[in-house]
Structure 1
């Protein structure tokens, strides 16, 4: 690799998004190649980046390579511990969920048994109610033998219509003693 001079800018892949803030108020930039955020045009950061770049590409700095690998392993350890912790938490959550599901299944089973018991009790109560209603109906109705011997009720009597009035005829009856069958001189 070519050594960097102070006038050279080290691999400047910058990402600048000031979000509408004027440059004077937001002089920060992110250098993606180095993974750092630093003030734009900062000599300290440029010197650090030059130093890191020189050391990382120099085969004469094996201690730097070892330290670099140590840092890489430390980051991986942190990552792996995070992954391990995440797996542990996930297993714990799954165990809690299985316990909850088992508890809900048990509650559902108990509720189902209670429902079946209540339905059986309801059916029994309805049968008792039907039996008592039948008993009451039989007790309040007259016995069959008595009911058959009772005269059938006659239909309500319609009033006899009166005939239209006839004209009055003169009385043609003879007096009692003048009647031929009552004659005094009877033979």
Structure 2
């Protein structure tokens, strides 16, 4: 499924998967997908003003760095030593189950994580048109379903959603 993804869009999905695995989540959800997009910024949209920290605090992924630092542990250094190359998008795959077609799973060197329904929809919307799946297309997938909470999170972090949709060429209404 990653065949049409640009390297940057693929990196955003991989970051989201790593966050889900690190947090011990049972599935990669749309909030974590938004966090992956906010961290990697797979586009150059001026109107995407959300920060990774702003999104992180709203999706409930804590940052263990401060707690571990009180114990004298540098989490970034631990990751550098133990996860060398684990975040390389080329080492990850995204596959749909042949037996359960609604099940999409991200596989990589750190483990595997199924995509929750709303995250799967993000991928499906991003792939619905011909051409490469870019960061803008991932953003379109995140904003296409109001129930996944991405628009609310972006609004809470100060993003002008109308301007973002205009700049990213995201359709804002259905054609008649």
Q: TM-score range by the shorter chain?
A: under 0.3
- Bigger radius of gyration: 1
Highest RCO, 1 vs 2 (Cα 8 Å, sep ≥ 6): 2
